[in-house]
Structure 1
C-alpha cells in the first residue's frame, strides 16, 4: 500500500508538471507568435492597398521586434515611393494640359485657313483630343490612388439605379437595352462619389463594346459579407489570355484598338473601389460578353 501511494504521488506530480509545462509552452508560443500574426495581418493590409498599416514593435522576442521595425521602415519607403510616383503623374498631367490646350487652339486656327474637310487637320485634331483625354484620365487615376475614401452607409440599390437611369439615354442612342434588376434596397459601406464614378466607368465600357440590339444588364445582389453590382454586357468579350490583363493601365485588346478610349477607365474604377475596401472581378459572360463584378463590404473596414 505504501508503494502504491508512492507511485500515485509520483504519477500525480508528473501529471501536474506536464500540465504546467504545457501551459507554459502555450503562453510562450502565444507570446512568440502574436507579433507574427500581427505582421501577417499588416502584410495582408498592405497587399490589399491599405498602405498605412503598421506593426507595433513592442512585444515578442527581440528578433521579432527588430523584424517589426524593419517591416515598418520598408512600408514607409514603399508608401513614399508610391506617393512620389502619384505626385509625378499628377504634376506631369497637369503641366501638360495647358500647352496641349494651346496646341489644340492653334490647330483650330490653322484649320480655318485650309479647305474644309482637310483629312490631315481632322487626323491631327482627333489625335490631340485623344491625348487630352489620356492626360485627364491620368490625372483622375493619380487623384483616385491618392485620395482617401469617405465611407458612408450607402443604399447600393438606389445608387446603382440612379447611375443606370443616367446612362439610359446614351444606351438608347446607341440602340442598346440597358436594364437593371436585383435588390432594390440594400446597404453597404462605400464612398458614394467614388462608387458612382466607378460604376460610370464600368457601364460606359460595357455600352461602348455592346453592339446595337443587344443588352447590358446591371444586377445588385446582397451577400453575407458584401454587396455586389454585376454589369454584364453582350459584347465580343475577352479571351482567357486577355482576361488576365484586363484592368491593367493602358492595356487594350488588339481587337478593340479602333474603339475610343485610353485604357485607364477600369484602372481608375479599381483604384476608387480599393480605397474603400471594395474590389473588381472579371469573368466571361456566356455565350459572349464580359461580366464585371463590383464588391463593396457590408461592414465598415475602416471603422
Structure 2
C-alpha cells in the first residue's frame, strides 16, 4: 500500500541516517586520532633532529671541529641518512656542514632556508611537485644555537614524510570504501528490520480495513430497509399521522441518508486502502469534466449569490485519469467551496500546465483555514472548530486525496485567513506516473 510504502521508506531513511551518521563520525574520529598521532610524531621528530644539530653546532663552536657523520656501513643507518637532511650555519650565515640525500627536495628546502621564514620550535610540512609529476612531502624545523649566551648560528633539519602521508591518504581511501560498503549493508539491514517492524502493522491495518469494508457493506441493507419502511409509513394515509409524527419521520429519513452517505464514504476509503478500487484511466478533456461539475452547483451557488468563474484556457487541456474519480474529487472540492463561501462571495476554477502535469485549482473567498488546521485537513474525520457548525463528517477531503493519489496525482491546499482558500489538484497529462 502507498501509505505503508512511504512510511517504510521514511523508516529506512531515518535508520540509515542515524546509523550511518554514527559510523561516519566514529570512523572520522578514528582517522582524526591516527592522523593527529602521525602529525605530532612528525613535529616531534623534526624538532628533536633540529635540536640535535643545534647541539652539534654548539660543539663545533666550542671545539672548532665538526663531529663525524654516522657510519653508513649498516643498512638501517643508510636508510635513515637517506631520509633526513640538515643544514648548519655559523653566526655569519656561512654553511659549515650539511647532509641531504633526498634529491627531489633540494630546491624546495633551499627556498625555505633562503627566505628564513621558519620560527624556532615550529616545524612545518611542505609539499613538492616533482618532475615525475607526483607530490612529495617533507617536514622542516629551525633551531638557533647559543654558546656562552652568545649567538652561535642556526640549523635547519627535517626528513621525508611522503610515505607516511601516502599511508594516511590510502587509509582515507579505505575508510571511504568501507563507508560505502557499510551503507550498503546498513540498507539491507534497514530494509529487513523495517519489513519485520511493519508486517504486524500492515496485517492489523488490513484486518481493520476488511472489517470496515464488510461492516459498511452489511449496514447498507438494513438502512435501505429502514428507508423503505419510513417511505411506506409516510405514504400510508390510513394511519393519519400528525404533523409532528411526519416531522419525526422526515428527520429520521435525513439521518438515514446521512448515515448512508457516511457508510458509502467509509466503504470507498476502505477499498482505497486495500487497493480494491477499479481504475479506468483514459485521456479526458479537462473542460468537459469541469463544466459537468460546475453545472451541478449553479443553482446552489445562485441561491447564495455566489459568483462561479471559469479561469484560463481549458479547451486544449487533457488529463490522464479515471473520469469518475476526477468528477468525485471536483465535486467534493466545489461542495466545500460553496459551503464555506459566504453570500456574495466568489469561486474560481481553472487549469494550468506544468511539464507533464495538469493542475486544476479551485479558489473561494471567505474566512480561510487557520494555519494550525491546514496540515490536518486531509486527515480522516478531522473537523476544525470553525467547521463544526456546518454539516459533514470530515471524510470528503480524505476521499479526494486518496482518489488523487490512486490516479498518480496529488492534492494540495493553501489558505489566507479572511481572504481566500485554494485547493489544487495535480494530475498527469499522459501515462506518466508522478
TM-score normalised according to structure 2 size: 0.54
**CA deviation digits over 1:106-152, x for unaligned, max 9?**
12222233437521111111111111111111111112222278596
Q: Select which of 24, 28, 39 maps to 2:174.
A: 24
1:180 aligns with 2:330: no
1:166 aligns with 2:296: no
- Larger Cα-atom Rg: 2
**Within 5 Å, which residues of 2 pair with 1:114-263?**
114-115=240-241, 117=243, 118-147=246-275, 158-159=285-286, 161-174=287-300, 175=302, 176-182=306-312, 184=314, 185=316, 193-223=324-354, 227-257=358-388, 259-263=390-394
Range with greater deviation from structure 2 (184-193 or 77-86)? 184-193
Deviation of 1:202 (Å): 1.3
SS at match of 2:179: helix
Q: Give me the whole-angstrom Cα distance separating, in 2, the residues matched to 1:225 and 1:14.
A: 56
CA contact (8 A) 2:366 2:419 kept: yes
Q: Give me the whole-angstrom Cα distance separating, in 2, the residues matched to 1:125 and 1:210.
A: 28
Q: Give me the whole-angstrom Cα distance separating, in 2, the residues matched to 1:102 and 1:95.
A: 12
1:269 aligns with 2:367: no
Q: Give me the whole-angstrom Cα distance separating, in 1, the residues matched to 2:164 and 2:282.
A: 58
**CA deviation digits over 1:13-56, x for unaligned, max 9?**
345433332322221111112355xx5xxxxxxxxxxxxxxxxx
Deviation of 1:189 (Å): 6.5
TM-score normalised according to structure 1 size: 0.74
Structure 2: gaps (5+ residues):
1-98, 106-135, 138-159
1:279 aligns with 2:279: no
Q: Give me the whole-angstrom Cα distance separating, in 2, the residues matched to 1:35 and 1:194.
A: 42
Structure 1: gaps (5+ residues):
40-56, 58-64
- Report the aligned-residue RMSD: 3.3
Q: Give me the whole-angstrom Cα distance separating, in 1, the residues matched to 2:416 and 2:361.
A: 11
Q: Give me the whole-angstrom Cα distance separating, in 1, the residues matched to 2:407 and 2:164.
A: 55
Aligned to 1:79: 202
Deviation of 1:235 (Å): 3.9
Larger strand share, 1 or 2: 2
Range with greater deviation from structure 2 (235-244 or 173-182)? 235-244
CA contact (8 A) 2:369 2:416 kept: no
Aligned to 2:29: none
Aligned to 1:46: none
SS at match of 1:284: strand
